[in-house]
Amino acid sequence: MSFAPHGKHLIAGEWVEGADTFASEPSSGPSHQFSVGTPELVDRAVRAAEEAFGSYGYSSREDRAAFLNAIADEIEARAEAITEIGSQESGLPEARLNGERGRTTGQLRLFATHILKGDYLDRRQDEALPDRQPAPRPDLRMVQRPIGPVAVFGASNFPLAFSTAGGDTAAALAAGCPVVVKGHSAHPGTGEIVAEAIHAAREKLGLHPGIFALIQGGNREVGQALVQHPLIKAVGFTGSLGGGRALYDLCAARPEPIPFFGELGSVNPMFLLPEALKARGPEIGKGWSGSLTMGAGQFCTNPGIAILIDGPEADAFVEATKAALSGVGPQTMLTDGIAKAFRSGRDRIAGTGAVRELLTSTSDPRKATPCLFETTGAEWLANHELGEEVFGPLGLVVRVKDEAEMRTIARSLEGQLTCTLHLDAGDCELGKSLMPILERKAGRVLANGFPTGVEVADAMVHGGPFPASTNFGHTSVGTLSIRRFLRPVCYQNMPEDLLPADLCHRGVKI
């Protein structure tokens, strides 16, 4: 099943053309024309979303679960076409896109199951105590309620799982919030076909047409118009630190500031403790190579930094890593811009004068080859830019003098999505001394693994202190992500007929 994009926006249930168009820049295959978004189109989409909230925000969990499952069904019905155009636009292999599609539909179904259970509502009640002295207590009930229309920005590196029907959209819809998506220009055809799946699911269930909108292309004014629209109540974003920080500041500067849930990047450091390094350093090095180059290193959880105590075991680890990376050929990057940024980041690290080059090469401008550098703990501490993310297959080995310097390096870290400990039984004391530091630095702390591959599950946290994300109290992956788009409301002495249905589960008073 082939797919030929029509290049229109989806607004209030209608496919709308724009006055101007832009051309997609696929890695392979034909280019297509897409309408360019405008602030006027944003206003139409957001106003329709606010109108839809009047029904969708008060719909049953059963109806919202049915919608999520229907979206998953419609995406799978377009599986072949999604893989075809997704591969053309991004250069990602079919296997990766098929897996990402499964992750996307699996997440939708997981959220459907989760909201049916009702636990996420955190329902509470303090029953009235009319005879309490010295003052009576009123009846108090609390439940989480949806906040209203949500803006979502598609991610460049995940055309499915973090874009049109990805985690932010799925979480907002599960919460009861209509969504306006600003599609990413790196994969507009993929965004369009997924929007068609959402549109078909909505029509099948007879839901309000303003529940979901997709606006393609457009300059910065379009994104600004979206986050500054007074009817938008929160923003979900996955992307660069610079772009995310600009949007965050716009959200904070509004007359009514709103939460900005931005996942902005991370270097995801690994700490190789002495006993593990001695016992299996080369094995860890080979594993690091695979994680570092997975998807051409274009994962926000790419483990870019390895910290270990200098010595012969460190030499063996480095040699094994270098040998493994040397066998990795050029990999196509998602966009020309990302490839250019990778080369710029590589040259920035090399130009600091604080690193030694172990492996680097050049290739076609759209492709990337692995790079490996090393430095000392002292140089790391003296050069802040060594800790800045390079989006792509670049690794930096930091050789420290001793355990004390390793802890100093840990304390120097900015906020991270992940931190990893490679340790054996004899490393537990050092591990215990690092844990209080690392759990303050990252949203997920791993032992003896690699952070690429984020499980979509109840206990997952994909977030962390700034600059990994803009809100350390939340996650953009897993069922807890739904809570971002809810707020607690307390009802005092409220007649039952006026209470939200979720405060009376199957007619039983909560």
Catalytic residues: 263, 300
Three-state SS letters, 190-236? HHHHHHHHHHHHHHHHCCCHHHEEEECCCCHHHHHHHHHCCCCCEEE
Residues 6+ apart with CB under 8 A from 37: 9, 18, 182, 215, 216, 217, 218, 222
**What is the Cα–Cα distance from 338 to 187, expressed in whole angstroms?**
13
3-state secondary structure of 309: strand
Amino acid at 477: V
**What is the Cα–Cα distance from 237 to 264, expressed in whole angstroms?**
8
Question: Does 5 sit behind a cis peptide bond, omega within 30 degrees of 0 on the bond before it?
Answer: no
**What is the Cα–Cα distance from 53 to 46, expressed in whole angstroms?**
10
- Cβ–Cβ contacts within 10 Å for residue 493, how many? 9
Whether the CB-CB separation of 465 and 419 falls below 8 Å is answered with no
Whether the CB-CB separation of 201 and 74 falls below 8 Å is answered with yes
**What is the Cα–Cα distance from 211 to 392, expressed in whole angstroms?**
36
- Cβ–Cβ contacts within 10 Å for residue 172, how many? 30
**What is the Cα–Cα distance from 376 to 405, expressed in whole angstroms?**
10
State the virtual CA torsion across 287, 293, 294, 300 in degrees, nearest 10.
Answer: 100
**What is the Cα–Cα distance from 403 to 382, expressed in whole angstroms?**
18
Rg for the chain (alpha carbons), in Å? 24
Q: Nearest-CA neighbor of 10 among 295, 206, 137, 200?
A: 200
Question: Does 26 sit behind a cis peptide bond, omega within 30 degrees of 0 on the bond before it?
Answer: no
CA 20 to chain centroid, in Å, comes to 30
* Six-digit token string for 460: 């997952």
DSSP code of residue 140: E
Largest CA distance in the chain: 80
Q: Nearest-CA neighbor of 343 among 356, 333, 354?
A: 333
Whether the CB-CB separation of 417 and 462 falls below 8 Å is answered with yes
